[in-house]
Structures are given as structure tokens and as C-alpha cells.
Amino acid sequence: MRDKLIIVESPAKANTIKKFIGGNTKVVASMGHVRDLPKSKLGIDIEHNFEPEYINIRGKAKLINSLKKDAKDSKQVILATDPDREGEAIAWHLAYLLGIDGKSNCRVTFNEITKDAVREAMKKPRMIDQNLTDAGQARRVLDRIVGYKMSPVLWKKVQKGLSAGRVQSVAVKLIVDREEEIEKFIPEEYWNIYATLVKDKQEFIARLYGKDDKKMELHSKEEIDKILKDLEGAKYIVKDIKKGERKKTPAPPFTTSTMQQEASRKLGFTLKRTMGTAQTLYEGVKIEGRGSLGLITYMRTDSTRISEVARAAAKEYIEKTYGNSYYENRYYKTKQDSQDAHEAIRPTYIDLSPDEIKDSLTSDQYKLYKLIYNRFIASQMAASVYDTVAVNITANNYLFKANGQTLKFKGFMIVYVEGTDEVKSTKNKKESEEENVSLPELEENEEVKKKKLDAKQSFTEPPPRYTEASLVKALEEKGIGRPSTYAPTITTILARRYIEKEQKQLKPTELGKVVNKLLVENFGDIINVEFTAKMEEDFDEIAEGKENWRQVIKEFYGPFQKNVDKVEKELEHVKLEYEVSDVPCEKCGRMMVIKYGRYGKFLACPGFPECRNAKPYYETIDVPCPKCGGKVQIRKTKKRRNYYICENNPGSCDYISWNKPKPGEKYIEGEEKPEIEEKPKKTRKKGQLKRKSNKKR
């Protein structure tokens, strides 16, 4: 009989931990969850205090039997699943299946999978945290009730296959609300006047600020013409100069949401791709010469705290690599509503720089590890320092301002600069550019020569659409969901076709608008930011042992069920308005409409069910085919790479190219063309089905 059995979630994590555990111990993986609510029904016994009806997950019988056998052959079973609510829930379910007393010291957690962290955790096993488990159960039960009660309303009143959810529906609402803001936005005209001035052959730009020391806002050409006339023949005199110093401090190490945002901005990663890659870096990667190593700390966290050991390692690395002046001991304040259960996301081995282990990592692992590594190192570095100068220049009674700055000390910027997702308005972007110029040496009361005056008309711009990064930021700021929920939430609403991506921007579909309108009008108490944020607070209270999870569900359920019954009874069927294409149905002549299916957009005849004609939908570009003048379609290879093909191919035109054609471009013979693989027809050998059937029997 072996001494210990350690159960983790994944084989990669198991392989990494095996290295650090000595003695007669076996490490195995549960492959994620082993029990869950059934998919075929609600699975919540409403009449008996909302008791969840858990079942073993289909397809895991062999694994569960293997775990039971291993547990029976071991003196002690240690449940070492992830250190969060979901991990605690998996441990709780494993304890139930394996007959382990949850109040015994059977549970260990580690924030990082390193030798010291694993061995230290194994010395301090604890009981399963029932409060944490209950918080996870509360979320699961509430989301199941909301989803399984509201979704059938959508099936009956809109169309089959739709779904609603507590967090996903609020995320859709944010995107729809933003789209409505954009559609209702009325641009306002404004003007700026820029003076190009010269001192010692060096040109610089000053912007008109106001008149008689009062700020001016210019909104018409008439105002501009009057000012330009007033400035004819004016002398430009330096009124005063203010010199100073500006410091820019580094961003804190990553939390889950900031990592997702930055990976989206800088790497173009989706949230799902980011979290999947981070999971592999946490659980362990085979590094040449070192074996399997967990390269980062746990990737689901809302804390910016780091350990003193990591702080000391960063100090040693920075001073050795860049010099003492580049190090600064920094502590970051974690947000008030943060759970602060784990450290920030950081590298576990400072000596393993991204470039040193690049050959052992996949492309995605390298990019994300480098982002995490550099962000952490920068977070412990000195601020960058700028010399700044602000100059006021008078011309008659008008005041112009010029600002400049020069970088004096790079500090943390030698390693890392945080990205931004916000689209700056033309006005703010222009002002930002003006501040980053270098000004000549000027003296008070001296005259500078005017080279020219430019008046520029601009218009205010609507708020930008959300990207994955900015939506995560908004969800976090409003207290909706938790770090672990952002990726699956956005993945779900994309898969349901409630929203779509236009380049990187998230835009609601017609279906999303209809579903959102129905839910907001009929379930407004649930599909709103305040309710969703309040529920997150309740879950936190349960996790801290301050609330009973069944009581929280009970208070919610009564009014909710009454509302569902009322909506089912009173709401009339909602008809979807589909976008009409310019493609006629070759069977009945109607103009085909664009619908959404499992694999994206397709063209369907609006005469369904009388006419069932359907065909693939391909987006087109504005540029005509360089060879025949027809429409050029955008298509994708199996590896999701775009290529461009004439609508008449195959047929009267054979144009196809990897490169997007440009207006007026002429077709070049001999250009490398994509090879389009025809899908092979599925064939079955004679008697194959029968043999399979007999085998099944």
C-alpha cells in the first residue's frame, strides 16, 4: 500500500508536481470536474431547499473507478486542486466520490508549482473550506436557475437554440447600450487654431488657448475668421515659461483581468486563448535541461500582492541587469473588493528569462510569458523621468500654449510600457502629440517668428465600441462576474451570435438586440448591472461564512419564478427581422436573407418552409476583381487564414490571391495562389455500419 495519493486536475500539473514529491507517493489527474448538474434537466430540487442533484459526468466512469482504486490502495489521499472556488468545489466532489471526510486534513493548495511551494504546502494540509464550496454552489445553482428558467422563454417567444444567463445577458446589454449611444450620437463641430513658430531655425507648434486669459471654445468658421483677422500682423511674445519634472510610475503586476486586457491589446489574443495559454504556463512546461516547471503563479487572481521572496529575486535581477538606480521597492494597493486570496500573476523563476527558454515554449507560451515576465520586472523598477516645459505666448490679446517634454531617465520603460485600449478622440490625441514635442530654448519677453497659422475643423466622436479588453475592464469596474468568468462569458455570447467581432470591436447582431430588448423589458430586475454586482457581493459573503447560500437562493427564487410565469403567459411571439442580401433565390426568386447558424452566417430563402433553399454567405470587399471586375469574396483556409477570390471562380474567372486587391490594381500572372482543398466525400466500406452495430451489441 502506498503512503500518499495526490489528486490534481490536469496531467501537466501532475507531471510537474511528481518531480518535487519524494517517497511512496502517486500523483494523478481528475481531468477537471468529475460531478456536475445534469444537462437534460434543471437538476435543482426546488421543493427541498434547492438541493442540487449532482451526477457523475458522462464519459468519466473509467477515470472515477481508477481514482477509487488508487484511493483504496493509499494510506492518505491529498486533494490538491486549484486554489479557488472552482478548485475547492472539485475537491469537495472528489471527497464525496472517494469517501473522504471533508473535515479531515485532506486539502492542500499552492499559488505556484515550485519545489519550495509544493513541499511547504504538503506540510500544512487543511480541511475542505465549506464556505468556499458553498459560494461556488450558490453561483452554480443561481446561474442554473436563471439559465434554465429564462432560456425556454426565448425558445417559445423568439427562436429555438437561444440562451440567457445572469452574467452573459448583462454583458450583451452593455454592448447593445454602447451601440445605441453610437447610433444616437450627434457630432458637434469644433475648431482649433495652431501657430507654427520659429526660434533659431527650430520650428514648434503652439495652440490657441483663449483671449484675455480666458479659455475659448470655438464652434464656427465665423469665429475663426474673426480671430485670424485679429491676428494679422501680431507679434508673438513669450509671456512666461514653466519648467518642471514629471514622473511616470510602472503598472502593477498582472491580475487576471489586466493580463487578459493587455494580451488582447498587445498580442491580439482572445480571452480564451490567453487563459488557455496561462493555464499551461502555470501547470508546467518541459524546459530543456530542467524538466517540467510551472513558470507562472496561479492565473486566476484579483490581487496585485507579491511575496517577499519574489520581491527579493526581482531586486537582485534588476540591480544586476540594469544597475541600482533602476530598482525601487514598490507595494501596490489591492482594490477594496478584491478577494486577495492569491498573489498577482508573476514568473516563478526569475532566472528563466523568456528569451533563454524560448526554444522550449510554443509561440503563444513565449509571447504571454514574456508579457508576464516583463510586466512583473517593470513593476519593481524606478519611475521614468521627463523634463517638462510649458510656455505661454501672447499675440495681441490672444494666448497660445506650447508644451514639451524630453525623456531624462527611462526607468521601468527600458523593460515595459503598458498598452491602452481606449480610442482617444481627435482632440485629445492632438493635444497628447503636442505635449511630446521638444521645444527650443526660449526666454521670457522674447519675440518668436510666426511661420504660419492653421485653422482646423474637427467633430466630436462617439464613444468607441467595446473590444474584449475594454469589455473586461468595464465588467470588472462594475463588479460583474469574477476573473474566472470573463473568458467563458464572452466566448458564450459570441458563440450564441448575440454579438460579433468587426475587426477587434464587439458589435451586437440583430438577434442580440432583439434578445436584449426582450430580457430588459421583462426581466429588468435581473438583467442589470446593480443586481449582478449585488449577487457577486452575496457570493463573497457566503465565502466568508457571513451568509447561508440556500437562504440567498430562496430570497431570489420566489419573485423570479412569479416573473417567469407572468412573461410566459403575457408575452407575444417576437419576430426576428433578418438582413436582406442582394442575392436572389434561384429556386423562387425572393431576395435571400442573412441568418446565423452553428458555423456563422449563411444565406437562406425567406420563404421557409415553402422554400428551403440555403447557401454559404461570403463577405465581400469594396474593390472589384482586378481580372474581370466582379465582386471579390473573403474566404478562410482550414487554418483560418484569409484569402481573396472572385465570385465567378470557379467559372468564367480564375482570380484568387493571398493579398487583398487594391483599387486600380492590375492582375499579375504568375502570382502565388492559395491552393483550395476540396473536402473529400465521406465513404463507407461495405458492411462497416453493420460491423459497428454488431460490436455495439
Distance of alpha carbon 342 from alpha carbon 566, whole angstroms: 44
Quick one: cell of 424?
482617444
Distance of alpha carbon 348 from alpha carbon 376, whole angstroms: 11
Whether 298 is catalytic: yes
Q: Which CA distances in Å does 570 have to 95, 190, 522? A: 46, 50, 10
Q: Which CA distances in Å does 438 have to 388, 573, 628? A: 9, 64, 52
Distance of alpha carbon 366 from alpha carbon 379, whole angstroms: 20
Nearest Cα neighbor of 164 from 471, 523, 476, 561 is 523
Classify residue 639 as left (phi > 0), alpha (psi -120 to 50) or beta: alpha
Q: Which CA distances in Å does 581 have to 499, 606, 617? A: 19, 11, 10
Work out whether strand 25-29 and strand 2-8 pair parallel, antiparallel, or are unpaired: parallel
Quick one: cell of 517?
430588448
* Residue 71 host element (H or E): helix 61-72
Nearest Cα neighbor of 506 from 278, 173, 232 is 173
One-letter identity of residue 445:
N
Q: Which CA distances in Å does 378 have to 140, 195, 383, 453, 680? A: 38, 39, 9, 43, 52
Nearest Cα neighbor of 338 from 87, 543, 530, 171 is 543
The one catalytic residue among 96, 194, 209, 298: 298
- Contacts with 630 (C-beta within 8 Å, 6 or more apart), sequence order: 624, 646, 647, 648, 653
> What does the buried/exposed string (b/e) look like for 213-246 if buried means 16 or more CB atoms within 10 Å of the residue's CB?
eeeeebeeeeebeebeeebeeeebebeebeeeee
Distance of alpha carbon 206 from alpha carbon 577, whole angstroms: 52
**Catalytic residue positions?**
298
